[in-house]
Amino acid sequence: MTDTKWALIVSPTPQAQEAGKKLQPLMEWVSLDEADKAVVLGGDGFMLQTLHQMLNRRKIMPVYGMNLGTVGFLMNNWHEADLTQRLEKARAFKVKPLRMEVETISGASFSLPAINEVSLLRETRQTAKLEIEVNGRIMMEELVCDGVLIATPAGSTAYNLSANGPILPLSCNLLALTPISPFRPRRWKGAILPDKMQIGIRVLNAEKRPVSAVGDQQEIRDVSRVTVAIDRNQALTMLFDPEHALDDRIAMEQFVV
- Confirm or deny that 161 is annotated as ligand binding: yes
44 is catalytic: yes
- Confirm or deny that 157 is annotated as ligand binding: yes
Question: What 3-state DSSP class applies to 145?
Answer: strand
- Confirm or deny that 64 is annotated as ligand binding: no
Instruction: Give the Cα separation of 7 and 242 in Å (integer).
Output: 21
Instruction: Give the Cα separation of 54 and 103 in Å (integer).
Output: 25
- Dihedral sign from CA coordinates of 106, 112, 118, 123: negative
Instruction: Give the Cα separation of 203 and 102 in Å (integer).
Output: 11
- Confirm or deny that 146 is annotated as ligand binding: yes
- Confirm or deny that 117 is annotated as ligand binding: yes
158 contacts 133 by C-beta, under 8 angstroms: no
Q: From the candidates 44, 222, 231, 248, which is the catalytic residue?
A: 44
What distance lies between CA 146 and its chain's CA centroid? 20
- Confirm or deny that 76 is annotated as ligand binding: no
- Confirm or deny that 53 is annotated as ligand binding: no
- Confirm or deny that 158 is annotated as ligand binding: yes
- Confirm or deny that 109 is annotated as ligand binding: no
- Confirm or deny that 159 is annotated as ligand binding: yes
Q: Which residues are within 8 A (CB) of 147 and not within 5 positions of it... i.e. 6 or more apart? A: 119, 120, 121, 122, 128, 179, 180, 181, 211
Residues of the binding site for NAD(+): 44-45, 116-117, 146, 154, 157-162, 218
> Catalytic residue numbers?
44
Residues of the binding site: 44-45, 116-117, 146, 154, 157-162, 218
